[in-house]
Amino acid sequence: MKREELIHFVTTLLRKRFHDNFEKQKVDNDTDRKLNFACPICGDSEKKSSKKRGNLYLDTGAYKCFNDGCMAYMTLGEFVAKMSKDHGIMLPSFVLDVEYKPVKKTRDDNQLVRFITSDTSELVKITDIINRFGLKRLDQLETESRALSYITGRDLALIEEYGDYLYSDSADNKIYIFNFDRRSGRVLGFSMRSLDPNSDRKYIIKTYTDLAGIFSQKGLNKQVIEDANFLNNYFNILNIDFAKPILLAEGQFDSLLLDNCIATSGVSKAKSIMSNLGAKSGIKIIFDKDKAGRTQMMQFIKQGYSIFLWNKAISELKPLCQNSSEFIRLTQIKDINDLFSFLRKSNPDYSLATFNKWINTNFSESVYDMVYL
């Protein structure tokens, strides 16, 4: 099967599905590994036509949508057959090609244990990346830096160790967020958060496979690379104290505000890491206050996990509102960073230590408390 034939099929599909939206008809095919485009199943973003959360993986023969309201997942053959039927497109000849049957990957239940007990001495260090790209720690930048202004404006500069994780380059138009082991300096991967409000892609993720290519690393243990790629989905996981309660949040910035917290970069990836983290009693889940986050937390509390009660927490803060605009701002809080910033605006002396102590009073594992979610 020719790659060009698949691109032609997807292009035809998008023109039919989004006939009145030229932006959603575009296909990103700048890598050999996948095609990226607006999901034709859910329609993708209603607010921003340029968002592309549908992905066809050419190496594994799978389709995956990363829109939390959709999360469609199927083989390439299933995707093509379904789209052909739903939109009246002729079924291509390549659907049954052997080369595009999905590769079934077997994973041990605990990639984390396997990774931390493996020899990772050959993995790239954070200093190697800093030197290669000419990066600077955000806590060492001048005050007029755009990246530093962004961090300060979101009250993230109050995090004692934020400079260990957050960097910028000479262009000063994005923030590099490193997922690494602070003890050894070994990197799982990193994200680049764009500071351009008009950017089509807010985040660009670099896996360890990407790093191995950048640094021309050959002959590395394939299992170590695969585990590093998997664990890179879970920001800060190598710095967690497993003897203490572990918090799971969505965003990377959110996780840095909380004690002993991992970011899952969206609700869809949470389930895959649960078996790596141990007993349910040691895990607390604090996803965003949107529909996807609360829906997922509702499922987890039914399974015996402790979840953050957003409605209870918001109700406790209502007396802090001095006027209607502050009340509106309170009701519009969508994540942990928003919550901390609201409290800081109400009290400029409000500390992270106080915040974490208060946060921990608003968890419950009782299904009867779902009304407060």
Q: Could you tell me whether strands 174-180 and 166-168 are parallel, antiparallel, or unpaired per DSSP bridges?
A: antiparallel
* Whether pLDDT at 110 is above 80: no
CA dist., res. 295 & res. 261, Å (int)? 20
Question: Rounded to whole angstroms, what are the CA distances from 294 to 169, 250, 307, 308?
Answer: 36, 12, 9, 9
Using alpha carbons, select from 48, 10, 31 the residue that is nearest to residue 207.
31
Question: Rounded to whole angstroms, what are the CA distances from 319 to 219, 313, 327, 328, 344?
Answer: 61, 12, 9, 13, 15
- How far is C-alpha 161 from the geometric centre of its chain's CA atoms? 21
pLDDT tens digits, one per residue of 202-228: 888 898 988 988 888 877 888 888 889
Helix, strand, coil fractions of the chain, as percent rounded to 5: 45, 15, 40
CA dist., res. 284 & res. 362, Å (int)? 10
DSSP state for residue 138 in the 8-state scheme: G
φ and ψ of 369, to 5 deg? -90, 5
* Whether pLDDT at 360 is above 60: yes
Confidence of residue 102 (pLDDT cuts 50, 70, 90): very low
Produce one character per residue of 240-278: b if its CB has 16 or more CB atoms within 10 Å, e if not. Answer: beeeebbbbbbbbbbbbbbbbbbbbbbbbbbeebeebbe
- Counting every residue written for the chain, the total comes to 373
Using alpha carbons, select from 243, 244, 210, 207 the residue that is nearest to residue 227.
207
* Whether pLDDT at 6 is above 90: no
Confidence of residue 109 (pLDDT cuts 50, 70, 90): low
Confidence of residue 93 (pLDDT cuts 50, 70, 90): low
Strand partners, 179: 189
pTM of the predicted protein model = 0.77
DSSP 287-305: --SSHHHHHHHHHHHHTT-
pLDDT, averaged across the chain? 88
Neighbouring CB atoms inside 10 A of 371's CB total 9
DSSP 230-255: HHTTSBTGGG--TTS-EEEESSHHHH
Work out the average pLDDT over 277-295. 88
CA dist., res. 261 & res. 79, Å (int)? 36
* pLDDT in the model for residue 63: 86
Confidence of residue 339 (pLDDT cuts 50, 70, 90): very high
pLDDT tens digits, one per residue of 124-165: 999 999 999 999 999 998 878 999 999 999 999 999 999 999
* pLDDT in the model for residue 95: 56
pLDDT tens digits, one per residue of 47-70: 888 889 898 887 777 888 887 667
Residue appearing with tokens 């585990």: 227
Helix (H, G, I), strand (E, B) or coil at 41: coil
Residue appearing with tokens 């918001």: 314
* pLDDT in the model for residue 126: 96
Using alpha carbons, select from 232, 231, 224, 234 the residue that is nearest to residue 189.
232
H helices of 290-351, where? 291-302, 310-317, 324-331, 336-346
For the chain, domains (ranges, CATH) are 3-100 (no CATH), 107-221 (no CATH), 233-373 (3.40.1360)
